Amino acid sequence: MTSSSIINLNNVWGENMSKLPILFTERLIIRPLSINDAQDMYDYSYRDNVGPRAGWKPHQSIADSEAVIRSMINQTMTDTNIGIFALEYRENKKMIGTIGVHRYDKTNLSAEVGYVLHPDYWCKGLMVEALTKVIMWLFDQMGLYRIECSHFDFNYQSKRVIEKCGFTIEGISRKKIVLSDGSRADLYNYAILRDEYLNKQLPWQKKKE
Ligand SMILES: CC(C)(COP(=O)(O)OP(=O)(O)OC[C@H]1O[C@@H](n2cnc3c(N)ncnc32)[C@H](O)[C@@H]1OP(=O)(O)O)[C@@H](O)C(=O)NCCC(=O)NCCS
């Protein structure tokens, strides 16, 4: 069996480019969001230490989460977004976070990833596990050349995810973001290029060799 046929068996995708695929990792199922995920999304989105670190306000109710999910589903394979994946923890089938692929630029083959995870599941390496799988899909199946990612200056945890995925820092947008308390944060901007991925220069690719 060739490595490409293994990829095809693992990823249930291909027959319909208007949908997101289902991707599998050791501990996660990375799949399209469903309105049935609203309770699970609310379980992490009401917390003060989740959304604000990613630039959005905590949800006030499950209805908020439902509205967000509907909006996210509408951002699937549009001119400017590839879509938002749900991260389902295999062990208990809970939806514990998301990875969004936004700012899709079809001309220059680039997009930006953003992510959140339920705090009960932090510090287990789950986001690196999920994001590296999505990165592979974006290069191998979506044909991207460039994947971008950014974090606020105070977000050490996200910085570490970005570094472990192999993004290279390209610059700092000084005081770009106004936070909920009115203060401003610097935005640290990174990218991975397809050549770096194909040449197996990323830390998670080197480890496997
Ligand atoms: C950023 C986030 C997705 C990281 O996910 P994760 O799967 O926990 O990431 P990791 O397990 O790889 O941990 C990343 C780093 O944070 C550290 N960390 C994890 N949980 C922590 C905690 N509660 N307190 C302090 N450090 C913590 C880890 O030790 C690790 O650092 P190391 O690699 O130097 O050891 C998660 O913290 C999150 O959802 N945060 C809120 C939303 C957010 O910030 N999104 C990103 C916006 S840019």
Which range of residues forms the domain containing residue 153?
3-208
Domain count within the chain: 1
What letter represents residue 92's amino acid? N
Q: What is the CATH number of the domain that holds 76?
A: 3.40.630.30
Tell me what pLDDT residue 16 has.
Answer: 55
Mutating to test ligand 1, I would choose from 157, 172, 177 the residue with most ligand atoms within 8 A of its C-beta, which is: 157
Tell me what pLDDT residue 181 has.
Answer: 87
pTM over 0.85: yes
- Three-state secondary structure call for residue 110: strand
Please work out whether the CB of residue 154 comes within 6 Å of at least one atom of ligand 1.
no
Query: Do residues 191 and 172 touch, judged by C-beta distance below 8 A?
Result: no
- CA separation for the pair 86, 99 (Å, rounded): 7
Per-residue pLDDT of the chain (209 residues; tens, 9 = 90+): 333 333 433 344 444 567 999 999 999 999 999 999 999 999 999 999 999 999 999 999 999 999 999 999 999 999 999 999 999 999 999 999 999 999 999 999 999 999 999 999 999 999 999 999 999 999 999 999 999 999 999 999 999 999 999 999 999 999 999 998 899 999 999 999 999 999 999 999 986 55
Tell me what pLDDT residue 11 has.
Answer: 41
Q: Measured from the CA of 44, which atom of ligand 1 is nearest?
A: 39
